[in-house]
Amino acid sequence: MAKENYTQYALLGLLTTDCRTGYAIKRMIDNSLNHFWKISYGQIYPMLKLLVEKGYATVEDLAQDGKPDKKEYSITPKGEQVLKDWIKQPISDLPVEKNEVLLKLFFGRHQDTVTTLHQLDAYKEKLIQRRETYENIRRMIETQSHDKKDAPFWLLTLDYGLRTTQAAIDWCTAAKKTLS
Amino acid sequence: MAKENYTQYALLGLLTTDCRTGYAIKRMIDNSLNHFWKISYGQIYPMLKLLVEKGYATVEDLAQDGKPDKKEYSITPKGEQVLKDWIKQPISDLPVEKNEVLLKLFFGRHQDTVTTLHQLDAYKEKLIQRRETYENIRRMIETQSHDKKDAPFWLLTLDYGLRTTQAAIDWCTAAKKTLS
DNA sequence: TATTTTTATATCAAATAGATATATATCTTC
DNA sequence: GAAGATATATATCTATTTGATATAAAAATA
């Protein structure tokens, strides 16, 4: 059986926001969905083409004087229906989240404790930075007066990122105590 | 630049435990490292071959009467050094953990609240099951008297899984309250 | 004016995910 | 005791994803 094609739905969903070009979609995902999604151009551009082929989106080729062409995409009613149908589908099984730090710690007996503690420090630092990023996104969403319809949902997903990141930070503190 | 080859290190690491066949490695990762790692046979078998080619492991072909051949792998001192060198490397940037439920919730305004609440229920249920699995693994590690050297590290990684899963469960509770 | 950053599209190689094929052994249930 | 299910074990294949690179012009900055 073929894998679920999440890319398709992510793009359709983003076309219902202000994102209309492949570049804008990439930026949006990297900046505002980065607590639960990522994507590459190698996924975006072929998929945008496919969406148009399937009639889920339309494209407007904007040839500007001198500038390179710009393609603005819009979701169609058919595309909106496909998006809604997917959203209401039962959720699939929980994915495994691969974590390099935990993989190293799992084999931690092969290393001296001091080095392991340094790595936990570095990990905690990165997590704290991530938490700050999330706080910034939250402030951005809360201050932007437009997008009133989307905002509550966006804040909920952010809260997920904040809570799980905080739990990971707390774990770092506890783990360091255990090891030293 | 080529991506870090974590598969290599995961296999070398597991060869320092009781796992000696591709099948045993797969089972171990699916059962005991499933809170932070996953792997496919398509990664395992070619990589085991490669480890032998590189001199990081040796293989013993056990042709049993009637039974299909069984290949038992052992890590070499060279392989152990490669493993240790990798473990001590600075950790890389935090990966993005893709989450289907959050992607749907992000586009939640396209759906009625009741359906969304049901999906949050289903998600919470899966998280609770996951937490139970982790508790079971913890009991297994704590009761098994062998592996005294590895046990403290394995319990630390489990604690990570328990804490972040609990945070996600708490988020479900809070999110449902917000939406209803 | 020169350099850097941002906007914008496109493609490629390597790695991963998930499924399937094959074959035997063992365990369970009728 | 036979049938069916589950566990052991290796191998391969396709689709998808990742991360990098190429290209080019506009806009911002120094």
DSSP category for residue A109: G
SS3 B180: coil
Angle between helices A22-32 and A6-15 (to 10 degrees): 100
Quick one: which of A70, A72, A86, A75 has its CA closest to A11? A75
Q: Whole-number mean pLDDT of chain A?
A: 91
Q: How many residues can be counted in chain B?
A: 180
pLDDT tens, residue by residue, B34-55: 999 999 999 999 999 999 999 9
Cβ(B43)–Cβ(B6) under 8 Å?
no
Our measurement of the distance from residue B179's CA atom to the centroid of its chain's CA atoms, rounded to an integer in Å, reads 33
Cβ(A99)–Cβ(B92) under 8 Å?
no
Query: Does the beta carbon of A141 lie under 8 angstroms from any beta carbon of chain B?
Result: no
Pick out the nucleotide with least CA–C1' distance to B95: D18
Which of B18, B94, B127, B141 would best serve as a mutation to test chain A binding (most A beta carbons within 10 A)?
A: B94
Average pLDDT over residues B67-82: 89
The hierarchical CATH code for the domain B6-88 is 1.10.10.10
Residue among A90, A104, A153 whose CB faces B87 most closely: A104
Q: How far apart are CA A171 and CA A131, in angstroms?
A: 14
Q: Chain B residues with CB inside 8 Å of A174's CB?
A: 159
Q: Chain A residues with CB inside 8 Å of B173's CB?
A: none
Q: Which residue ranges in chain A fall short of pLDDT 70?
A: 1-3, 63-68, 145-147
pLDDT above 70: residue B3: no
DSSP letter for each residue of B152-179: HHHHHHHHHHHHHHHHHHHHHHHHHHHH
Residue among B87, B101, B159 whose CB faces A171 most closely: B159
pLDDT tens, residue by residue, B127-151: 999 999 999 889 888 887 666 789 9
Residue among B33, B92, B119 whose CB faces A100 most closely: B92
pLDDT above 60: residue B122: yes
Pick out the nucleotide with least CA–C1' distance to B93: D19
Enumerate the domain spans of chain B. 6-88, 100-179
Cβ(B142)–Cβ(A95) under 8 Å?
no
Q: Decide if A109 and B150 are in contact by the 8 Å CB cutoff.
A: yes
Distance B64 CA to C20 C1' (A): 26
